Amino acid sequence: MNRYRDIIGRLNYGVFLGLIALLPFPQIIVRYACLVWFITWALEFRWLSKPDWRFKISVVLFGLWYAWKLLSGLWAPDHAAWAAQMERYLPFLFLVPVGIWGVNPCYDMKRAGRVLVISCLCAVPLYALLMTTLFYHREIIDTLHWEAVWNYAHNDLYAFVTDNISNVKHRLYLCTLELFGAYAAFVLYRHEPKKLIPMLVVMLLMIALTDSRQAILTALILAAVTALLYMPEQYRKRYGVAILAAALLTGGGLLCLHPRMQHMDLEAVRQMQEKDDPNTARLYIWTCALQEPKDYLAHGLGAGQSTPYLVERYEQAGFGYCAGSRFHCHNQYLQELMEIGIGGLLLFLLAWVSVPLCARGEGRRAAWVLVTVFGCNMLTDCMFNMFCGVSIWATAMVGVMCLSLVEQPAQVRAPRTT
């Protein structure tokens, strides 16, 4: 029995490393890798052992949030959209037993961190090559005549390929991975600047390549949070607020200078005029979403129902670009409010904040990074609307769990000298 559990445990750990390596790549593979990882965890019979309750509060809160969304199917008008979201969010449910019973002791998070760093570094040239090819040499795409793919892409092969080829992610998701990779590189090589600096340069190059405004601000805030996490406590208390304020001011200044910010037209939003400008789409989306909060404030529209609701509002307001693209609300907090009401949103926030509070040691530092990066990016996108966001979050949570279970060495206080 012990030999069987040892073999399955090593297989489970190997799948976990493979899952980390695949995160920047096709999500259909990652989806199956997540399922195989959980199956091998269950086959190891961890749930027959004595549970470890150190992480239970956070994972149970996420489980309750998932149950709330599951219950919302009772009043959700579109059950297909509800079922699709429940299936996409299954890793939230899987992590409840994993968080309670833990993973096997062979998990080496330093090795997992190196795999993440290598994977993120490989994603940068691949992303640069594909995006350069697709956007500056469109004639390459125009020469393709795959009838099956064409039909699947609703007769818009170029849009399909640019969105899905190798699924090298929506830029914000890939930037999220790069920022986690930068943190992992910092932890592993912070005493070896000759190795660390080139890695950070390559990963920050991704931010420039993607031209993501949110990623620029998130990177600066993450740098400030990381500095605070590894700063001696006396300096953290003294300079903490100043460092965070400097990061926010620098990020705000860079955003004001960003070329895409010149397209912002708040007056057009106030007047609700039709204007098909992708650079200001989020302003129109949020305006439509917040027009009638009484429609969803009490108990929400139901899981997966926010996008159909918004499409109706776009059509009523004459926002053809948003309606044709079927844009979701591009704010995870707003989506939770729309789908499960004010109570569900509060439960989601409580579960989210509990992650660093329930973690320990290096796990708590990693949890603050998780909350910082996802928390910032959820302001301008629904990070869990695509499985890539769910898979990134789930693997990061497993890392936090493992780091929290590592016994921290006792600090020996030096004797005071007179």
Give residue-wise pLDDT tens across range 255-314.
666 665 655 555 555 555 545 555 567 778 888 888 888 889 888 999 999 999 998 888
Please give the angle made by the CA atoms of 85, 402 and 121, to the nearest 5 degrees: 75
Q: What is the pLDDT of residues 19-48, one digit of tens each?
A: 999 998 767 788 889 999 999 999 998 888
% of the chain beyond a pLDDT of 70: 81
Q: What is the pLDDT of residues 330-361, one digit of tens each?
A: 999 999 999 999 999 999 999 999 999 989 88
Cα 3 to Cα 48: distance, rounded to the nearest angstrom = 16
Q: What is the pLDDT of residues 355-394, one digit of tens each?
A: 999 898 889 999 999 999 999 999 988 999 888 899 999 9
Q: What pLDDT is stored for residue 142 in this prediction?
A: 54
- Mean pLDDT computed over every residue of the chain: 81
DSSP, res 406: S
Helix, strand, coil percentages, rounded to 5, for the chain: 75, 0, 25
Cβ-based neighbours of 119, under 8 Å, separated by 6 or more: 20, 21, 22, 23, 24, 177, 181
Task: Parse the chain into domains and list their residue ranges.
Answer: 1-104+264-404
Phi, psi torsion values for 296, nearest 5 degrees: -135, -5
Contact 148, 157 (CB under 8 A): no
Q: What pLDDT is stored for residue 165 in this prediction?
A: 46
The kind and range of the H/E element at 227 are helix 213-229
Measured between alpha carbons, how far is residue 347 from residues 253, 289, 354 in Å? 34, 21, 10
pLDDT interval class at 414 (50, 70, 90): very low
Residue 418 above 90 pLDDT? no
Distance of CA 229 to the CA centre of its chain: 21
Q: How many other C-beta atoms can be found within 10 angstroms of the C-beta atom of residue 230?
A: 12
Cβ-based neighbours of 78, under 8 Å, separated by 6 or more: 302, 304, 305, 308
Per-range mean pLDDT, top range of 101-105, 115-119, 127-131: 115-119
Q: What pLDDT is stored for residue 43 in this prediction?
A: 93
* More confident site: 104 or 160: 104
